[in-house]
């Protein structure tokens, strides 16, 4: 198993020095492109700084879609306002953490993720889904999604084992 250190960034880390991060071992950045249908105001700057630092880049969209039609609309907005004309070495992810999604059934959330990912893939992008392990196990048809799309999971554990997915996020505490 090869471990590669990366970060996810958004407007909340807009002042982060990515050259320093690279010197500390960061190899890639997953950058928030949109929050629902609103572009992250730091996206362009974060993308430019990551590329200038020599980091590989992926993007995520914090979804606020409540149905399949809105998921497709959000995906298209991400394509039009953030992705076109840029190069990505990592997937483009839908982040399904918003509380709006909590009332959706397992099938509805699975369909929403699928619609978003299909829209990205039909436009030529490599799509994936970000979620926590509990969501994967309980709130979507996890195996169905895993068979079709890349996964990035929040996997908070003290155990020394990895989840069955391509990328997972750990919390690093500063001591």
Q: Record the pTM.
A: 0.86
Three-state SS at 158: coil
What percentage of the chain carries pLDDT values higher than 70?
82
For range 82-109, the mean pLDDT? 91
What pLDDT score was predicted for residue 175?
42
For range 112-123, the mean pLDDT? 96
What pLDDT score was predicted for residue 38?
97
Which residue segments constitute the domains of the chain, with CATH numbers given?
Answer: 6-169 (3.20.20.80)
Kindly report the average pLDDT of the chain as a whole number.
Answer: 85
80-92 pLDDT, tens digit each: 999 999 999 999 9
**Half-sphere exposure of 79 toward its Cβ, with a 13 Å CA cutoff?**
18
Beta bridge partners of 129: 94, 151
């Amino acid at each position: 198993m090869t471990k590669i250190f990366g970060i996810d960034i958004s407007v909340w880390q807009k002042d982060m020095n990515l050259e320093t991060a690279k010197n500390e071992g960061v190899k890639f950045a997953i950058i928030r492109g949109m929050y629902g249908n609103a572009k992250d105001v730091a996206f362009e700057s974060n993308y430019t700084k990551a590329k200038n630092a020599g980091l590989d880049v992926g993007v995520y969209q914090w979804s606020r879609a409540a149905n399949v039609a809105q998921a497709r609309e959000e995906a298209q907005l991400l394509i039009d306002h953030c992705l076109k004309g840029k190069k990505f070495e990592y997937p483009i992810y839908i982040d399904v953490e918003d509380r709006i999604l909590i009332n959706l059934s397992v099938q509805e959330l699975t369909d929403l993720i699928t619609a978003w990912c299909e829209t990205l893939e039909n436009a030529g992008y490599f799509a994936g889904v970000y979620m926590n392990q509990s969501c994967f196990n309980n709130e979507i048809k996890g195996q169905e999604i895993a068979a079709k799309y890349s996964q990035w999971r929040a996997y908070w554990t003290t155990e020394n084992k990895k989840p069955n997915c391509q990328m997972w996020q750990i919390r690093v505490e500063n001591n």
